[in-house]
Amino acid sequence: MLRVQEANGRLDLIAAFKRLAECGITRLMVEAGPILAAALLRADLVDGAALFRSPRVIGADGLDALDGMALSSLTKSPRLLSISTETLGNDTLELFERPIL
């Protein structure tokens, strides 16, 4: 079991990722909900993202994709580039990637 300190009452993501790296884990795929996805973006820990969109409007009871952040924080991020868009039935999949410097 790995343990790290909290930051502001939540998991310290930077500390967690550093601890994983110390254990030899240098790649991690995260299927995140709105809170974790927003926290990862805020901490600049996202190297790639897959965004699925539907033409259906969920309505007022739906959850935002990013808790407390506009979706443009991902789609217009200066750190991530849209590398492809694919239609899957009625839905769209857009892939984003951090450019290698």
**What residue segments make up the domains of the chain, in order of their start?**
1-28, 31-97
| pLDDT tens-place string over residues 44-84 | 999 999 999 999 888 778 888 999 999 999 999 999 999 99
Mean pLDDT of 80-90: 97
Round the average pLDDT of the chain to a whole number and report it.
Answer: 92
Rounded Cα gap, residues 24 and 86, in angstroms: 33
Nearest residue to 17 via CA among 32, 35, 4, 31: 4
pLDDT recorded at residue 97: 97
